[in-house]
Amino acid sequence: MLETTEQKRAEEELPVASFRRRSRSQDEVGHDDFSDDHFIKTVMSMDSAPEEFRTGSEYIHVSGLIDYCARKESLAFSGRQVGASPRMRKVMAAERIIWAIGRAVESHVRSQFVEGTRGEGVIGEWSCKCGQLTRRGDMPRSLCGTCGERANRYGEFTLRDDIRKVVGNPDLLYSRPDNGAVRVIEIKSMNVTQYKELAAPVAHHVLQAACYHRLLGENGFTPDDTVSIFYACKDFHPKPYKEFHVTIDDHLAARIDDLFELASKRAEWVEAHKSGGCVVLPDRLDACSSPTSTRAKSCPECVGCFSRNS
């Protein structure tokens, strides 16, 4: 019995001892940096890696349309068309942490809503565990013939305007049970200081939700006459949520008309760029009076913009 017990103990300890031996083998690990700050250096090297500016694509996202500069977009698209190197920007580790927190908050709020409603009325890109059963729209109730699971894994629903070349991914789309109209719910997160001072929805957020509202109608849905802006506090707060409801009135609808008219003009010169035609460079924004103005300094096309007279 004693021999069996000792043998069992040795077998249980073997994986740990084996791991320790492997951890000392630099050849197997593939590098020789085992300094005390190895972990933080590795994470920081990834966090501080530059990333490409999100300009110059054929389609413009709703968020880019709201703060739109036709000149910047034209310059960026021209650069990509002739094969120029992508324009990169520096990113701070603190920025990536904030973005990650924001995405986690958005995911948490949406997951709680989906769980609380059992997916009833939630519109998304649904898939089962194995990915064989998929559905675009409301959650399917049937089971997958391969894995036997329901397609209850949520994916963001994409709305497109292929004429104006606008694309968007609403945070949450919910079909009201009383009338079947689809409500846009935009989820935003704030630090506790901003959150405490919040008494009305941020104008930029309202415009973004209203653009999704417009895209809903163009994609065959019946949009609700109201959009919701849902705020969550990223720090501890006893009441972490605030929700505002905004009706799409004539004034707001006219503002969205203007934004989509900009998108139409952009789509025209995108096609002109693609066909190799002559494209007139749009005027600069009033906010960009010089290369040292606040907006101009943060623009990836600043040098090219001010090197052109027109």
What's the pLDDT at 116? 94
What's the pLDDT at 102? 93
Say if residues 185 and 228 touch (Cβ distance below 8 Å).
Answer: yes
> Among 229, 266, 230, which Cα is nearest to 64's?
266
Say if residues 172 and 113 touch (Cβ distance below 8 Å).
Answer: yes
Which residue matches tokens 């905004």? Answer: 246
What's the pLDDT at 268? 84
pTM reported for the whole predicted model: 0.80
Domain boundaries, the chain: 60-66+91-273
Confidence of residue 127 (pLDDT cuts 50, 70, 90): very high
Query: For residue 16, is pLDDT > 50?
Result: no
Summarize pLDDT for 142-174 with one digit per residue, the tens. Answer: 899 999 999 999 999 999 999 999 999 999 999
Domain 60-66+91-273 has CATH 3.90.320: yes
What's the pLDDT at 183? 97
Query: For residue 14, is pLDDT > 50?
Result: no
What's the pLDDT at 277? 65
Summarize pLDDT for 214-261 with one digit per residue, the tens. Answer: 999 999 999 999 999 999 999 999 999 999 999 999 999 999 999 999
Confidence of residue 120 (pLDDT cuts 50, 70, 90): very high
Q: What is the mean pLDDT of residues 104-123?
A: 94
Sign of the dihedral through C-alpha 255, 258, 264, 269: negative
Crossing angle (nearest 10°) for helices 203-218 and 250-275: 70
What's the pLDDT at 244? 98
Query: For residue 189, is pLDDT > 90?
Result: yes
Question: What whole-number distance in Å separates Cα of residue 299 and Cα of residue 75?
Answer: 11
Confidence of residue 205 (pLDDT cuts 50, 70, 90): very high
CA 182, 183, 186: angle at the middle one, nearest 5?
A: 140
Q: Which of 6-20, 33-47, 205-219 has the lowest mean pLDDT?
A: 6-20
Question: What whole-number distance in Å separates Cα of residue 200 and Cα of residue 245?
Answer: 10
The rounded percent of the chain whose pLDDT value lies above 90 is 52
CB atoms near residue 269 (< 10 Å): 19
